[in-house]
Amino acid sequence: ITKTRLSQFRDLRAEEKMEKFHHLPKRDVAILKRKLSTLQR
């Protein structure tokens, strides 16, 4: 479980840094940011 969460976190961080979030609808961006914040804990 931990490895998958870590890989999810890394993927989301990479997408955020590459600014892929700008091409998504606001709703999807909000969902992804919420996931990121929960994975950071």
Q: What is the pLDDT of residues 2-35, one digit of tens each?
A: 888 888 888 888 888 887 777 778 888 888 888 8
- The pLDDT of residue 24: 78
Provide the 3-class DSSP secondary structure of residue 21.
Answer: helix
1 — pLDDT class (breaks 50, 70, 90): low
